[in-house]
Amino acid sequence: TDETSGSLFSYVDLEARIPARHPLRKVRQVVNEALASLDGEFAALYTDFGRPSIPPERLIRASLIQILFSIRSERQLMEQMQYNLLFRWFVGLGIDDVVWVPTVFTKNRDRLLTTEMSRKVMAAILAHREVAPLLSDDHFSVDGTLVKAWASMKSFQPKADDTPPDDDPGSPPGPDTAIEEPDQPTEPEAAPMHRDHRQNRNAEVDFRGEKRSNATHASTTDPDARLYKKSPGTGAMLCFIGHALMENRNGLIVQGDLTQADGHAERRAALDMIHRHSPGSTRRLTLGADKAFDAAEFVADLRQACVTPHVAQKSRYSAIDGRTTRHEGYALSIKHRKRIEEAFGWAKTVGGMAQTVYRGVERVRSRFILTMAANNLARLPRLLAA
C-alpha cells in the first residue's frame, strides 16, 4: 500500500544532499570567497540597533539564485526557498531557518544592493584567484542592448508644466468630484435595469496621427524611461540601454552599466567603462565595436586614451582607415566582438532583463550589472573545468 508517514527528525546533512558534481558547487565557492574579500564593505552596512536585518552576503546570494534560475519575482523566490533545499544551501540557510518575508527582502535589497555594491561584487568575482587568469588585459569589446522598461505606452503622457493632468477617462471619480444625478421621471412605468456605464480602466487608446517625443511626453509609470528605437524598421518603446565591456579571451563581462536611452549613450558609456576598468593606462589596448561606434569624435577620444579603435567600418564617411584595418588584430577583434551578444541573449532569456520589473534608472542599473556578474558565474564551471 502507498502509505506515507512524516518523520520528526532528519539525520542527513544539507551539504550531503547536493550532488558532488553539481555546477553550483564551483559557483558557490567563487561567490563565497569573493564576498569574503568584501567583509570591510559589508561591515559598514551593519547597525547595532533596530531589528535584525538580512546579512548582505545572503541577500546577494539570493539575488544571484533568482537570476540564475529565472525566478520572475522576489515573492516567488521566497516561496521556493521554503522547500528548495538547493536554494537554501546556496544562500546559506539551514533546513529549519525561517525564510524572509518578501517585503523585508525587497526593502533590504533597495538599501544594500546599490549600483556601487553591484560593481564591487562583479569586481570581486573577476579578481578571484581562479577567474583572474581567464581574463585578457589588452583586448576588449563593447556594445549596448535595449532593456524594456516596466511601463506601458499608455503611460507616455504629455508633460504637465503648470496645469494638472487630465483625469483618466477610465478612472473612478475622486472623492471631491460632484456626480450629477440624472433626472428621475415622476411616474415611471417600470424600474429600468441597472447598467454600469463606467469605462474600463485599461481603455483602448489610438495613437495614430499623434506626435509624441521625449521632449514633450514622459511616462507617468517610470519617468526615467525614454521612447527609443535602436534600428530602423522597428517600433519605438519605453526602454533603457544596457552597456557591457567584454574581454576577448573568454568572453567574460568585466564592466556593466545602464543609462537612459539616447543616441549618444552607447559611445559615452563605452568611454566611461574603459576608463573605469583601466584608469590612466599607458598600455596600448584595443576596443572592438560595431558600426554604431564609427564616429570621428569617439574614435579620437579612444586614441587619446591610448586605445586602438577596432570599430567596424561604415560604408560611407568612416572614421576608421587603412592604418587600423591593415593589421591582423583588427580582423580578430571584429570576429570576437560578436560574442558579447551571447551575454545579452543570456541576460534577456535567463536573467529576466528582456523587460525589467524595476522602476527608476538606478534600480535597473544595479540589477543589470548583477545580471552580467551572474552571466560570468554561469560560465565559470565549464571554463574552469577546461
pLDDT tens, position by position, 300-314? 999 999 999 999 999
Q: What is the pLDDT of residues 176-232, one digit of tens each?
A: 444 444 455 555 555 555 555 566 677 777 777 888 899 999 999 999 999 999 888
How high is the pLDDT of residue 196?
A: 55
Return the CATH superfamily for domain 136-150+238-368.
Ribonuclease H-like superfamily/Ribonuclease H (3.30.420.10)
Q: What share of the chain in percent tops pLDDT 70?
A: 88
Handedness of CA 109, 353, 370, 375 (dihedral sign): positive
**Grid cell digits, residue 255:** 564592466
Q: What is the pLDDT of residues 242-272, one digit of tens each?
A: 999 999 999 999 999 999 999 999 999 999 9
Average pLDDT, the chain: 87
Among left, alpha and beta (phi > 0; psi -120 to 50; other), residue 351 is alpha
pLDDT over threshold 60, residue 82: yes
Give the pLDDT mean for 82-107. Answer: 93
Give the confidence band of 96 by pLDDT, cuts at 50, 70, 90.
confident
pLDDT over threshold 90, residue 36: yes
Task: Name the residue with cell 576608463.
Answer: 275
Report the chain's C-alpha Rg in angstroms.
Answer: 27
How high is the pLDDT of residue 193?
A: 52
How high is the pLDDT of residue 162?
A: 46
How high is the pLDDT of residue 133?
A: 95
How high is the pLDDT of residue 230?
A: 86
How high is the pLDDT of residue 199?
A: 61
Q: What is the pLDDT of residues 139-187, one digit of tens each?
A: 999 999 999 999 999 899 998 764 444 444 444 444 444 444 445 555 5
How high is the pLDDT of residue 209?
A: 80
How high is the pLDDT of residue 386?
A: 67
How high is the pLDDT of residue 160?
A: 79
Give the confidence band of 104 by pLDDT, cuts at 50, 70, 90.
very high
pLDDT over threshold 60, residue 18: yes
Task: Quote the pTM value.
Answer: 0.86
Give the confidence band of 28 by pLDDT, cuts at 50, 70, 90.
very high
Give the pLDDT mean for 18-28. Answer: 94
Q: What share of the chain in percent tops pLDDT 90?
A: 68
Kindly list the domain boundaries of the chain, sorted by start residue: 14-112, 136-150+238-368
Q: What is the pLDDT of residues 314-331, one digit of tens each?
A: 989 999 988 889 999 999
Q: What is the pLDDT of residues 342-365, one digit of tens each?
A: 999 999 999 999 999 999 999 999
How high is the pLDDT of residue 192?
A: 58
